[in-house]
Amino acid sequence: MDAGLISAIGSPRRREILRLLWDQELTAGAIHQAMPDVTFGAVSLQLKVLAEAGLVESRTDAQFRVYRVRRETLGPVAAMLEAMWTDALWHLKLKAELKESRRGPQPRRRRRSPTKGQKR
Amino acid sequence: MDAGLISAIGSPRRREILRLLWDQELTAGAIHQAMPDVTFGAVSLQLKVLAEAGLVESRTDAQFRVYRVRRETLGPVAAMLEAMWTDALWHLKLKAELKESRRGPQPRRRRRSPTKGQKR
DNA sequence: CACGTATTTTAGTTTGATCTAAATTACGCC
DNA sequence: GGCGTAATTTAGATCAAACTAAAATACGTG
């Protein structure tokens, strides 16, 4: 039982990512698209933290990077997380937590997905 | 399963307090004495957070306030925490985490326990 | 190898959690 | 009420995590 594990799931943003990855593999880009309120860079950094805690792993597939959850690391935490987001109110609560705990600068302008056509 | 619970145990300082209270009731002062690197005020604030998350409760005994863990709130987390601090290296790891995550101003001078004689 | 797409990394900014110090509140006792 | 001890609350300071924007890196394809 590593303390880094608890710190890792202590962040609502990282729990959001874990939830997305829970029952499917996703590319970094797909994860970002599901989280419209942060930049791709921010997602990538959180994925790095999760990977360092052993909670996710990735493989390279062509120019994509595919992430998946490493449930074996989670152990007793897995049941707790599942219980949490089986809760009907989970998504609502998470949003509240995210809003409350937001750090870093607010984006100056609406950011765009790097996958879509962007002039300039 | 409440998310506030996970956030609450996400802080190493609060885990330290939970550990102290795990198998005994303690007054706020006793908890503070066991944590010489923070002020009484800081301990009190963390106890408040833990209480709001339902992780501890307190009763008043004369001029003392006695805290205890509410294990029923912890549910599956209890096993995880116990596993963590059964780990021989737990105390070492916690110290590292505390050092790394320290916030707020460094104390200007050595602070004193409010229970001991203090001139001025 | 130039170009396009996907992702990570770097450099710099912001902000809430954590802290200190001091003021305040709470309780018991004489 | 006044004093002493215990604890909480308030006001202000600090700092690392979480963020943005931009630059750099990685990979495939014509």
Residue A34: the pLDDT is: 96
Nearby residues of B45 by Cβ (< 8 Å), 6 or more positions away: none
Position A30 pLDDT exceeds 80:
yes
What is the pTM assigned to this prediction? 0.86
Instruction: Answer whether residue A120 shows pLDDT above 60.
Output: no
Taking 80 as the threshold, does the pLDDT of residue B113 lie above it?
no
Strand residues in B1-120 grouped as ranges (E): 26-27, 56-61, 64-69
Q: Per-residue pLDDT for A103 more than 50?
A: yes
Whole-number average pLDDT of chain A: 87
Q: Specify the pLDDT at position B69.
A: 97
Q: What is the pLDDT of residue B119?
A: 34
Inter-chain residue contact B77 with A79, CB threshold 8 Å: no
Please say if the pLDDT value at position B88 is more than 90: no
Please report residues of A whose CB lies closer than 8 A to that of B75: 80
Is-contact A37 A17, C-beta < 8 A?
no
* Nearest residue to A46 via CA among A6, A77, A16: A16
Is the minimum distance from the CB of B92 to strand C below 7 Å?
A: no
Q: Are B23 and B105 in contact (CB under 8 A)?
A: no
Least CB–CB distance from B83: residue in A1, A10, A87: A1
Q: Where are the alpha helices (DSSP H) in chain A?
A: 3-9, 12-21, 28-33, 40-52, 71-74, 76-86, 90-100
Q: State which of A103-107, A113-117, B26-30 shows the largest mean pLDDT.
A: B26-30
User: Could you check: is the Cβ of residue A109 within 7 Å of any atom of nucleic acid strand D?
Assistant: yes
pLDDT at B108: 67
Tell whether the model's pLDDT for residue A35 goes beyond 50.
yes
List the nucleotides on chain C closer than 7 A to a protein CB: 4-10, 12-23, 26-29
Nucleotides of D under 7 A from a protein CB: 4-10, 12-23, 26-29
pLDDT tens column, B20-45? 999 999 999 999 999 999 999 999 99
Band of residue A33 on the pLDDT scale cut at 50, 70, 90: very high
> B80 to chain A nearest CA, in Å?
6
Average pLDDT, chain B: 87
Distance in Å from C17's C1' to B44's CA comes to: 15
Which CA distances in Å does A55 have to A12, A77, B41, B43? 15, 11, 35, 31
Residues 8-47 of A with CB under 8 A from B: 9-12, 15
Q: How far apart are CA B113 and CA B16, in angstroms?
A: 19
Number of cross-chain residue pairs from A and B with Cβ atoms under 8 Å apart: 57
Q: Which residue of B has its CA nearest to A85?
A: B1
CA distance A50 to A8: 6
pLDDT at A43 over 70: yes
